[in-house]
């Protein structure tokens, strides 16, 4: 009932306020796989929250709450810092150059200090900005297109790449995309899931692939769970995959292991 929901929500807000100081957040990493070679070419940083009383709670649920209570700036800064330090460490131990994708929520994107935060974090961690990619959603772009373009140009000016996440779920159209300085388009998992099952969704996926290519963007498909999906996507020009077929998001030590193995093996057996 409503009373119970309000109580849970307020518990969640209270718990979030203390999450950083109590060290409850952890960044997990999910590999991004090159379609042709089957090698890991990037990772996406995904936030996990270990709270003793709330147990497992998805970032899709608590990020909007963090936005609501004004914590997203602090949390966002922490994620970006942690992930960039990790990237630097991979470089230090001699792993091949890798792309790091970090999600930026609409409110973070609207924060006037976003670009200067990015600058500071890049400088302090000592990473190469060309290895960093920010994932923004259609919601960030459509609110105020002119402002979005300005912010994106500033980020690009820092040498950082930009990707559009969950593409196809919002209200932006493919033709709108040409206005934005985007490097990569992530096909949402709701399309990937329907490949070969639903005719319309499959057609839409093909259209997205063709249009994104024409607009000069690279394409990555999210939620790739089966070899059939991977094979369809590869055949139709999708550059990269991300999904459970290869690996879930895993803690830093596990991804480091996967990265070293990927460097050694010529190809992942599943692909």
| Residue 47 touching ligand C2E (CB under 6 A) | yes
Least separation, in Å, of the C-beta of 109 and ligand C2E? 9
Instruction: Choose the binding region for ligand C2E from 33-41, 88-96, 174-182, 222-230 (rule: CB under 6 A).
Output: 222-230
| Residue 255 touching ligand C2E (CB under 6 A) | no
User: Binding partner of residue 71 among Mg ion, ligand C2E, none, CB under 5 to 8 Å per kind?
Assistant: none
Note whether 136 and 162 are within 8 A (CB): yes
Q: How far apart are the first and last CA of the chain?
A: 47
Site map (CB under 6 A) of ligand C2E, residues 105-144, x = contact: x-----------------------------x---------
Please give the Cα distance from 126 to 128 (Å, whole number): 7
Helix axes 2-19, 59-68, angle to 10 degrees: 80
Least separation, in Å, of the C-beta of 79 and Mg ion? 12
Note the helical H segments in the chain: 2-19, 59-68, 72-92, 106-110, 114-125, 138-142, 145-157, 174-177, 189-192, 199-214, 227-235, 252-264
Bridge partners for 131 per DSSP: none
Nearer to Mg ion, 15 or 164 (CB): 164
Please give the Cα distance from 48 to 79 (Å, whole number): 10
Please give the Cα distance from 255 to 261 (Å, whole number): 10
| Residue 225 touching ligand C2E (CB under 6 A) | yes
The first and second tokens of residue 191, run together, are 């399309």
| Residue 103 touching ligand C2E (CB under 6 A) | yes
Site for ligand C2E in 61-80 (CB under 6 A): 63, 79
Q: Give rounded-to-5 percent helix, strand, coil for the chain.
A: 50, 20, 35
| Residue 243 touching ligand C2E (CB under 6 A) | yes
Note whether 168 and 190 are within 8 A (CB): yes
Instruction: Number of residues interacting with ligand C2E: please give it, by CB under 6 A.
Output: 24
Note whether 111 and 66 are within 8 A (CB): no
Least separation, in Å, of the C-beta of 226 and ligand C2E? 9
| Residue 37 touching ligand C2E (CB under 6 A) | no
Q: Which of 98, 118, 121, 249 binds ligand C2E (CB under 6 A)?
A: 249
Note whether 159 and 130 are within 8 A (CB): yes
Nearer to ligand C2E, 30 or 131 (CB): 30
| Residue 31 touching ligand C2E (CB under 6 A) | no
Binding site for ligand C2E (CB under 6 A): 30, 45-47, 58-60, 63, 79, 103-105, 135, 165-166, 189, 222-225, 242-244, 249
């Amino acid at each position: 009932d409503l009373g119970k929901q309000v109580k849970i929500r307020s518990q969640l807000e209270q718990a979030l306020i203390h999450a950083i100081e109590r060290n409850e957040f952890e960044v997990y990493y999910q590999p991004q796989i090159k379609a042709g070679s089957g090698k890991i070419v990037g990772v996406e940083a995904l936030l996990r929250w270990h709270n003793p009383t709330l147990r497992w709670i998805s970032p899709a649920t608590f990020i909007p709450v963090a936005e609501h209570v004004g914590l997203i700036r602090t949390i966002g800064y922490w994620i970006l810092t942690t992930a960039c330090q990790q990237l630097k460490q991979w470089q230090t131990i001699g792993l091949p150059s890798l792309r790091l994708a970090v999600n930026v929520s609409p409110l973070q994107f609207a924060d006037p200090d976003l670009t200067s935060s990015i600058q500071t974090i890049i400088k302090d961690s000592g990473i190469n900005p060309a290895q960093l990619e920010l994932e923004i959603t259609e919601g960030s772009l459509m609110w105020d297109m002119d402002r979005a373009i300005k912010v994106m140009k500033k980020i690009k000016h820092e040498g950082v790449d930009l990707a559009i996440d969950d593409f196809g779920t919002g209200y932006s159209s493919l033709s709108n995309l040409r206005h934005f300085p985007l490097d990569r388009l992530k096909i949402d998992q709701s399309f990937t899931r329907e490949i070969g099952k639903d005719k319309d969704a499959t057609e839409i996926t093909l259209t997205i692939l063709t249009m994104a290519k024409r607009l000069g963007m690279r394409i990555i498909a999210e939620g790739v769970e089966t070899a059939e999906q991977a094979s369809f996507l590869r055949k139709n020009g999708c550059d990269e995959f991300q999904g459970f077929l290869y690996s879930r998001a895993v803690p830093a030590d596990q991804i480091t292991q996967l990265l070293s193995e990927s460097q050694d093996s010529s190809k992942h057996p599943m692909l």
